Amino acid sequence: VIAWPESSQGVQEYLTTVDGVAFYKVRATGTMTNANVMNACATAGMGYLCNDSGFGPCTNFWYPGCVRFGSRDTSCWTHQALSIALCGEREPWSCEVLDKTFVYNTQGNGGAYGMDYEAGYFIFDGTAYNNKFALCAVMKSANGITP
């Protein structure tokens, strides 16, 4: 197990804004479980995200408590919506900035759901990964970010 220096824990990187929601990747500490993703986002003062956006019909892999975002022009899948916005790619595993980023997984055994850029696939169970990144979000207001 790799232990990150305490100064890197909770480090935030702004990614983009989609439909009035600002997205960040936040360094998480420990195994990439749903609980760890939720905790990393809460510690950073942000909300956590699900596989789906929670907008309109995009609720199959969404959980009450996840940040809801989107419009009819936005992909249902959180990683895909961000990949399109950040990299112009529909396949999120082709967008390097999303490598080892995880969201709340509504399926499975409590492991978070993520992306692996090097391997080129989804990570359906984050319990085999440690000290990676949680995708977190906050709503933006006209005057800046809403806490």
Q: Print burial letters for 46-57: b (CB count within 10 Å at least 16), e (below 16).
A: bbbbbbbbbbee
Per-residue pLDDT averaged across 105-121, rounded? 92
Per-residue pLDDT averaged across 113-142, rounded? 91
Report the pLDDT value the prediction gives residue 140, as an integer from 0 to 100: 79
> Would you place residue 70 in the very low, low, confident or very high pLDDT band (cuts 50, 70, 90)?
confident
pTM, two decimals, is 0.87
* Phi, psi (degrees; rounded to nearest 5) at 4: -80, 145
Number of other CB atoms surrounding residue 26 within 10 Å: 22
Tokens of 59: 């609720």
> Would you place residue 147 in the very low, low, confident or very high pLDDT band (cuts 50, 70, 90)?
very low
Q: What is the rounded average pLDDT for all residues in the chain?
A: 88
Per-residue pLDDT averaged across 46-53, rounded? 95
Name residue 135's beta-bridge partners. 25
Q: If we measure between CA atoms, which residue out of 38, 29, 1 comes closest to residue 132?
A: 29
d(CA 138, CA 68): 10
Per-residue pLDDT averaged across 93-113, rounded? 94
Does residue 6 have a pLDDT over 80?
no
Does residue 1 have a pLDDT over 60?
no
Q: Please tell me which residue, 102 or 109, carries the higher pLDDT value.
A: 102
Decide if 78 contacts 50 (C-beta within 8 A). Answer: yes
Tokens of 24: 């960040």
Number of other CB atoms surrounding residue 113 within 10 Å: 28
